[in-house]
Structures are given as C-alpha cells and as structure tokens.
Structure 1
Amino acid sequence: MAVIENSISPTSEGYQSNRAGMLAQIARVNAVVGRTVAASELSKKRFHERGQLLPRERIALLLDAGAPFLELSALAGYCLDTPDPEKSIPGGGTIAGIGFVSGVRCMVTASDSGIEAGSLQPMGLDKRLRSQEIALENKLPSVQLVESAGANLMRYRVEDFIRGGTTFRNLALLSAAGLPVITVTHGSSTAGGAYQTGLSDYIVMVRGRTRAFLAGPPLLKAATGEIATEEELGGAEMHTSISGLGDYLAEDDREALGIARQIVADLNWDRAQPVTGEPPRAPLYDAEELLGIMPMDHKRPVDMKQIIARILDGSEFLEFGANYGPATVCGYGRINGHAIGIITNNGPLDPNGANKATHFIQACCQSHTPILYLNNTTGYMVGKAYEEAGMIKHGSKMIQAVTNATVPQI
C-alpha cells in the first residue's frame, strides 16, 4: 500500500493565508454563538436574586464534571429573528447537546429561559424535533430542563401547532422504545407545553418555582369564572402531593439537578463512560435488628423504611413520589452494588398509591431494574370515597403491571 507523500508547506504564504482566513471564520461562528450565551447571561442577576440558576449553569451541574458535551444546532434560527447578522440571536430558545450524566451518555435539552422567558424562537421546534430524532436513533436517555413561556405568539404560525404536537408524539415514542425521559421543571410548563412535562417518565419539580397547568389564572377566570392562584393550579407541592404529576419535590434548582443525576445513576443503564464509585457497602444499620422491628402483633403498624434501611447499601434510598399516595412507598437503592426498585406499604393501598405503584413498576421495566416487594398491607382500601376515586380501576391497573412486568420480581 502506497504512502501519500506530503505536498503541503505550512510555511508557505498560501498556507498561512488560508489558515488565517479559516481561523477568522471559526472566530466569527464562535462570536455568534457567544452572543446568544451573553444574551442569556444578561438575566443572571434576576435569576440569582430569586434563587435560580441560569440555563447553562443548570446544564453544567447536571453533566459529569470534566466530561465532554457536544452542543447541537447552536446556530438554529440565525438571521430569522432579524435580518441583521450583527444583531441576530440564534439557538431557537433552546440549548441541546449530548453529554454524560452519572456516566450515561444522554441527550440533554434546556429551555434558554434567560432569553424572552424561554419562549421558542425561530427554528426552535425544528431543533427540538431533531434532538428527539437523534435520541431515538441512537438509543439515548433524555434529560429535559424545562422553563418556558411556550410559543412566541408574535411569530407563531398555525403550522407550528402540528409540529408542536409532533414533539409530544416523539416523547411517547421515546418512552415506548424503552428510552427514559427525565424532566426537571424549573419554572413554567404551561398550556400545550404542560405535556412536555406530563409525557415524561420521571418528573422533578421545584418548590415555589414550578408552574404546570393547561390554563393560567387569567384564562381560567375568563373561560370558567373560577379564581385560583398559579400555585393552586400548578405548583410543585400540589402536583407532588395531590395530582401525582410530579414524582420528586426539590427545594431549589441545585437539589432538583442532583435528583435528576441520581435518577440517571439508578437507571441501570449501560454506561458509555465508567463511573468511579465505591464498592458495595453494608447498610448503616445492623440487619440483625430486623428481628426486633417487625411486631409480633400484626395489627401494630411498622415503618417499612426502617426495614429498607437495613437491607440497602449505605441505607441510601431515593424515594419515588414521596408525597403522593404516601402510604405506598416506592424507590430505588442498591443491594450488594446491584440497582433495585423497592415497593412496600405503611398502610392499605389507596387509589393514589396503586397508581404510583403502577407507574413505578413500568419505570423499573423500562430501565431493566429488578423489583423487590416488601409486603406489608391489608390490601386495597374500601368505602364510598375510595370507590368513587376509582379503587377498582387503579387496583386493576396495578395488577396488570405486576403481571406483565418484564424484570425479575422478588
């Protein structure tokens, strides 16, 4: 096989001219992308005053420190917001890229809420659709950091309704393909955009900041006459304790991102990048103490989390939907280093508890995580209120989930 001979002279005038020209073009591209970053950072003071992080600060905390991040479609929408190339702010109102979260290669998208409250800019829908397409084709879990005012109505077209619906269809396709979608709702996720949160497999909400509803207070009052606050309609506390939309309640952006990283770590997903971690650890509490925790009188209550604490590595447990159907306890941990999902009860199963257990079983099947049942319940709740709330329906769905589970069940 012949070796190609070098015919390039790096010291020649032509070479040096080409090199200078190419560096100038690269600098021009970087300057345009940097203009978008700078525009978002103009909101830094306002974000920090209300205890929030900027979108790129959120991404930095989500990703593994020092690991590569490949940003995608950074020039989307260039010169479509304004024909002046010196004033255009590209990016489509969204940041997208591929990076490592807890050692797992993920598709990461974030509303660029530092610019026009995260409303979608020209080409923003195209960028979102393309990122979903890449995730589906390359079998990547997705992490969404949501805080958006929705569509920019000043530039909205009827056709965008169709493509906007396609983003929701794609979220359903990702989930059906066994590719988890984890969403941190940092702020607004309203109207049609509420389904960006609702169609996710794992949902983290931030106390006092999350807003997820189909109609805000002004529209609600105009349409029905009902008066309600944003917190009552779609706050994090309501959704994690009453509606069940939210699975995890965080106090601030940092805690929410930490929970998202833990969710990805517990997916039992094939890691493209090794994670340096501790070897399997013993529980913090002696397993022998299990002998004295369970009462001899089966009518006496027992806190099953005390049982869990004596079987999991380091007694560490990431609870799922803690405030929704709280008598039913679901969550993730590790036993001898192996990821496992746990379902148990501190009382009878009510409709919310059965609904939560069904969701959790499906999530474990999606991430190929075995399930350990620690049985401690008298069964499904009875009574008029529980029948009206759909106890039979939700109980049946749970039975179906247990029966059709595709992972080992212990």
Structure 2
Amino acid sequence: MDANIPLSGASQAVSTWVAWRTLALLLLLNVMNVVDRNLPFILIESIRKDIPLSDTQIGLLGGVVFTLIYALVSLPAARLADRGNRTYLISGAAVLWTAMTGAAALATSFLQLAVSRVGLAVGESAIQPAATSLIADLFERGRRTALSIYFVGTSLGIMVGLGLGGWVSDRYDWRTTFLVFAVVGLVIALVFAATVREPVRTGAHAPVAEKGRWQALFADPVFRHLAIASAIFMFTTMSNAHFAPAFMIRRFSMTAGEAGLSFGVLMGFCGILGTLAGGVVTDRLAMRDPRLTLWAPAIAMGLAGPLFLAAWLAPRADVFLVLLVVPSFLAQMGTGPIVAAVQSAAGPQQRATAVALLSFGMYAVGGALGPVVTGMISDALKPQYGADSLRFGLGLGAVLLLWCAAHLIAAARAQGQRA
C-alpha cells in the first residue's frame, strides 16, 4: 500500500509518513466524533432520572434532531471541502462539536439536550466528506484499505463511547461523563489543527463528475443503488446504537456499565475486524476484477439481517451477545468499499460532495427515521409487552437489511455492466 502525496522536493518516505500521520489523526477525530454522538445512548437511563424522557423523545434526540441537521449541513460543508481548505474546516468543526458535548452536561430539559444535539450535528457534519476527500488524495493505491482504517473509528467510537462512557457514568455521573469526553476531543482537535497541512488534490475527473451537477451522480445507477442501500443500513445501525444498551438494561437487568462494556466491546471489535476485512478483501478483488468489489458487502449484508433478528429474540444475555458476533462483523464489511465506489464516480473536485450526498440520504432518511420509528414501536407496544417492546422495533431494522442487500446486488450488477 503506497501513500501518494505530491510534495515538491520531498522523499517518498517523508510523503508516506505524512500520509499515515494524517490518517492516524483523522482516525482519532472519527473516534471522538462517534463517541460524542453515541454517549447519550449509554447514559440515557441515568439522564432520565434527572430529565424525564419517553422512548419517542430518545429517538428524536438521536434521529430527527441530530441526523436531519447533520444531513442538511453536510451538503454545504462538503462544498466548502471541495473548494477550500479541508484541514481548516475539520479543525473548526471538531472544536465546535466537542464544545457542544460539554454543553450537554449542563442540560436540565429535553429542549436543552436537543439544542446541544443540534450544535453537535452542525460540527460533526463536516468531518466525513472532508476527511474522505483528504484520504483519497493521500492514498492512491490501497485506497479502500485506507478508507476502511478511517472507518474503523466508527467501531472504536462505539466501543469507547458505550464501554468507557458507561464505566465513567457508573463511577461518577452522566454530566461528568460528557465533560470528560469533551476535553479529550478538544485536545485531539487542537493537535490536528497544529500539525496537519492541506495536501495537493490528485486524480483525474471521472466521466460522471465532468457533467458538473449533483444530479449527474444520481443519474449513475451505481451511485443511486448505493445511496438507497446506505440509507437502509443507517436505519438499522442508528436504531441498534440508540436502543440496544437500553434493551439490555431493561430486558436483562444490566447496569449501564455492564451493558455499555459488553455491547460496546463486542460491537467495537466485530466492527473493526469487519471494516478492515471489507477493505482488504475488496482491494484484493479489485486487482482481479473491479466488478467484484461490491459483491462481498452485498452477500455479507444479506446474511447479517437474519442473524441480527435471531439475536433480538434471544432469551438470555449470554445468548444475545454470542448471536450478535457474526452479524456485527458482516454488517461493517461494506463501509470502505461503498465509499470508494462512490468516490470513483466523482473527480477530485467533487469527492467530498459525492460522500456528502451519500451521507445526506443515510442520515436524513435512514438515520432520522430509524431511532424514531423504533422508539414509536416500543412506546406503542410497551403496555402489552413491557421490556420486550423494544425487540419489535429492533427486529424491523434486522429485516430491512435484506432490502439493503438487494440494492447492493443491483449496484454490483450495474458496476459490472459499466466496466
């Protein structure tokens, strides 16, 4: 895997070091990005002791309140990333979202929590399109693997946020937990701002991107099917992240620390391995036949759906955790390959915009609806099923992964026909 940074007068060794150092810092920022957005999910039962919240309100905090704002702001943020200095954009955004994480510690009502989530969404909306655009310029070969390493931050963030967040909350309180992670994130943001410089944009324009319109991306059947598949996947992912810890606390009588540590570590490790495996496998498949790169995540997603459903129906906590292992691994295999496929439809001046359009569908549709629909199903069925009511909403997300797999297969076929 070679890093490609066209620095005048610099040796290849220096260029490689800069690429990997930048990737490492982007990974850390992505970890904190995911930690901060997921902290409320492991803290929610503690927060409810101070601020009464229904499951629908919990879903709104992570669904419409966060993801819809995230999706809307990501589009202009991506335009800034494509036209301006991406490192400045990432640095400023990171400072903003860490400040909003600290502000959540001061909340005394649902409205104040919602305002802090809006500010968090505005800050976090910039990192994904800008960071993936940077990585595309830093790594010419092995780009899928490099992107997969970056997206490992998602799984690490879940593991740290749920595991360590629950641990800190059990020993102190939920307000202290927000403040601790806000300080850690701010330190990483300042290090990134002080050490990372904007690289030269590389690569030739792709045929789709040359049309110069966002509509041109949606005219491409590969991008269109990937966008739909990603939105469905985010519906399930956000539902699981929001409500799985609460489900474990209610159904299996776990503490926040126990639920956060067991679920966070399991999802984290499985996600890391699945994300890396998806990047490595598809990079190798690309060397044999580029048309094969989307088939691996399509098959993996089709298998993950029924296996997640089996986990939500488990009778005991130990069985539940064991059944989560395989689908948690499989579901993350498509992250790097899907983003790489999207970037292949865009030139260097539209990479961030292409990823932002993908993210818009993921968060404005899937991410916004997933937690809210799950929460509404849980509230509606709670009088009849009690603590088991969450199973029905979470089970819906598992079934929808089969629909996600169908669109990935369609994208793979369209990619093969175009090649």
Q: Which has the higher contact order (CA 8 A, sep 6+)?
A: 2
Larger fraction in strand: 1
| Higher percent of residues as helix | 2
* TM bucket normalised to smaller: under 0.3
Bigger Rg, which one: 1
* TM-score of the pair, normalised by structure 1: 0.27
